[in-house]
């Protein structure tokens, strides 16, 4: 395989969890209206998962996992991934989860110990790279056989270039890994979680915070919060329930607080307004039966109460001095609100 492999990998997204992050371009995630249709399938219990006769060489899996947690070895990593494909269906469900969790530690170690030349090459494997085709080929030819092995087997190793935002890139585990390797052998609720998470990360396209601005709309954040609330309600015993809850908390913070270049509140002289898109999304959540609905209601009450300023002015009866005092109070109120609202909302809504 030569340097032209760079055209095979697209920029994707960040991992909230290292072993799940990033992805190749997929369909965008479902809206809440499609949630029930998507997750109506009954959850398969561990006892319902068939356990075929033990496959030859599957007893090597745990040994390879132990080695790869402490030793950089690209060839063994490829061998392990091939064993997973063969052996996952032959072990109990809890063992599958154990192996799944082990891949997090494995890939963290393998990526951390990836040779610098390989890290640089993988970061260039995209149409926006800074090297020409000739330069990339020259770099490939300068590699050792073990380094070339990684490039030649990049699809089996599942390394990819991950966009961190603001022009910064890193190497991460391609999220297609869990979809192709683990998802087929897990429960339906797990498959729904993994595919939806992959789709959401794909929509984000890397970091949700890009140059102090959101990479998705407030409406999209609201829809994702509703999706995960419905998922937890539909699958309260899901293996990924805690992860779904973390997604909710993560999206809530951006929905209720925004970012510097995508603010929730828009300030003008002597007044402020809530972003219309954010208001619509938060109002929609407030009408659902969920924990997020309670926070949405508190947020809306907070905005309403903040709009009720004590100062008032009667143009027909008040003097110029009273008008000046009114303007001063209004300005002080807006400045104080703008300075304090984020910390007040973090405390009020328990945003972590």
31 and 159 share a domain?
Answer: yes
What is the DSSP track for 138-163? Answer: HHHHTS-HHHHHHHHTHHHHTEEEEE
Share of the chain above pLDDT 90, in %: 59
Q: Is residue 93 part of a domain?
A: yes
Our measurement of the distance from residue 265's CA atom to the centroid of its chain's CA atoms, rounded to an integer in Å, reads 24
Decide which of 205 and 177 is more confident.
177
What per-residue confidence (pLDDT) applies to 96?
97
74 touches 111 (CB < 8 A): no
141-144 long-range Cβ contacts below 8 angstroms, 24+ apart: 142/117, 143/117, 143/118
pLDDT band at 313 (very low <50, low <70, confident <90, very high): low
- Both 264 and 168 in one domain: the answer is no
- Give the residue with greater pLDDT, 160 vs 27: 160
Boundary residue ending a domain (183, 207, 231) = 207
**Per-residue pLDDT band at 111 (split at 50, 70, 90):** very high
Q: Which long-range contacts (CB under 8 A, 24 or more apart) does 262-265 make?
A: 262/213, 262/214, 264/218, 265/338, 265/341
Asked if 196 and 67 sit in the same domain, the reply is: yes
In total, the chain counts a number of residues equal to: 352
Residue 234 lies in a domain: no
Which helix H or strand E contains 171, and what residues bound it?
strand 168-173
**Whether residues 260 and 146 fall in one domain:** no
Question: For all residues of the chain together, what is the average pLDDT?
Answer: 83
pTM, rounded to two decimals = 0.76
Q: Give the number of domains in the chain.
A: 2
**pLDDT tens, residue by residue, 259-300:** 999 999 998 877 889 999 999 999 999 999 999 999 999 999
| Domain identity same for 171 and 287 | no
DSSP state of 329: H
Please give the pLDDT value at position 19: 36
Q: Which domain holds residue 47?
A: 3-207
Residue 33: band (very low, low, confident or very high) from pLDDT cuts 50, 70, 90:
low
On the question of pLDDT at 221 being above 80, the answer is: yes
Q: Is residue 242 part of a domain?
A: no
The reported pLDDT for the residue numbered 123 is 83
107 with 195, same domain: the answer is: yes
Q: Please report whether residue 338 resides in a domain.
A: yes
Q: What is the pLDDT of residue 330?
A: 81
Long-range contacts at 72-80 (CB < 8 A, ≥ 24 apart): 72/109, 72/110, 72/113, 72/114, 74/110, 74/146, 74/149, 74/150, 74/153, 74/157, 75/149, 77/106, 77/110, 77/157, 78/153, 78/156, 78/157, 80/106
Residue 128 in this model has a pLDDT that exceeds 80: no
169 and 72, same domain (yes or no): yes
What DSSP state is assigned to residue 114? S
Q: What is the pLDDT of residue 30?
A: 54
Report the sign of the C-alpha dihedral through residues 148, 152, 156, 157, in that order: positive
The answer to whether residue 143 sits within a structural domain is yes
Q: 342 pLDDT band (50/70/90 cuts)?
A: very high
């Amino acid at each position: 395989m030569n340097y032209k492999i760079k055209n095979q990998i697209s920029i994707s997204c960040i991992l909230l969890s290292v072993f799940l992050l990033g992805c190749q371009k997929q369909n965008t995630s479902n809206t809440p209206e499609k949630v029930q249709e998507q997750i109506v399938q009954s959850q398969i219990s561990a006892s319902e998962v068939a356990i075929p006769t033990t496959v030859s060489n599957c007893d090597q899996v745990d040994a390879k996992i132990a080695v790869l947690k402490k030793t950089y070895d690209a060839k063994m990593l490829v061998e392990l991934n091939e064993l997973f494909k063969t052996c996952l269906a032959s072990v109990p469900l809890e063992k599958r989860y154990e192996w799944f969790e082990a891949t997090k530690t494995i890939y963290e170690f393998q990526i951390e110990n990836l040779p610098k030349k390989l890290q640089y090459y993988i970061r260039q494997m995209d149409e926006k790279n800074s090297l020409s085709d000739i330069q990339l080929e020259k770099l490939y030819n300068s590699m050792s056989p073990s380094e070339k092995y990684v490039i030649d087997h990049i699809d089996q190793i599942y390394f990819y270039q991950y966009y961190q935002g603001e022009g910064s890139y890193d190497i991460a585990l391609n999220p297609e890994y869990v979809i192709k390797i683990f998802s087929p052998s897990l429960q339906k609720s797990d498959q729904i979680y993994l595919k939806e998470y992959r789709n959401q990360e794909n929509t984000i396209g890397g970091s949700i915070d890009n140059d102090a601005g959101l990479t998705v709309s407030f409406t999209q954040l609201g829809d994702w919060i509703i999706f995960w609330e419905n998922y937890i309600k539909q699958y309260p015993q899901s293996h990924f329930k805690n992860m779904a809850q973390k997604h909710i908390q993560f999206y809530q913070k951006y929905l209720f607080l925004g970012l510097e270049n995508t603010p929730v509140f828009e300030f003008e002289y002597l007044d402020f307004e809530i972003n219309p898109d954010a208001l619509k999304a938060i109002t929609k959540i407030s009408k659902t039966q969920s924990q997020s609905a309670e926070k949405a209601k508190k947020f809306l009450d907070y905005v309403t109460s903040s709009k009720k300023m004590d100062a008032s002015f009667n143009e027909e009866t008040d003097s110029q001095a009273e008008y000046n005092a009114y303007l001063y109070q209004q300005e002080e109120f807006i400045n104080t609100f703008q300075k304090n609202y984020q910390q007040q909302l973090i405390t009020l809504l328990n945003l972590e």
